[in-house]
Amino acid sequence: MIGRLNHVAIAVRDLAAAAAVYRDTLGAAVSTPVPQPAHGVTVVFVTLANTKIELLEPLGPDSPIARFLERSPDGGIHHVCYEVDDIIAARDRLQASGARVLGDGEPKTGAHGKPVLFLHPKDFLGTLIELEQA
């Protein structure tokens, strides 16, 4: 059911410092910071040959990654995003198998303008999973 790895998201406290690690130390192509107020984050996109890394810094007081950074002050992997061909069919199959979809279960428009859902980490080996319609 899941297809390509779309991105790995890493929560960070200091986006400029994090971008410098990927650009200068690791030698990757990084974007300028992109504020995404609807998602409560500012993002730097790191483009790799086969996938992307997204560096996420909290934006605003209600950022969904603020609590993650309280627990993990050094930052860390926040979620992985897999592509699916049909997000509604994927959701229905997962829910039928007992997996929990976060929120009201309806896809939201994600950071790339495509429908996304998040799956409960307790059902997936302690990893928050984002599904994105391919």
Query: Scanning residues 111 to 130, which ones bind Co ion (CB under 5 A)?
Result: 130
If one counts every other C-beta atom within 10 angstroms of the C-beta of residue 25, the result is: 8
Give the distance from CA 123 to its chain's centroid.
17
Rule CB under 5 A: choose which of 81, 90, 119, 129 binds Co ion. 81
Piece in contact with Co ion (CB under 5 A), picked from 25-33, 45-53, 78-86, 121-129: 78-86
Query: Scanning residues 82 to 101, which ones bind Co ion (CB under 5 A)?
Result: none
Regarding 9 and contact with Co ion (CB under 5 A), the answer is: yes
Catalytic center residues: 130
Is 53 or 94 the residue whose CB approaches Co ion more closely?
53
Side-chain half-sphere of 44: how many Cα atoms within 13 Å?
A: 23
Inter-CA distances, 44 with 16, 55, 107, 125, Å = 9, 5, 23, 27
Under the rule (CB under 5 A), what is the footprint of Co ion? 9, 81, 130
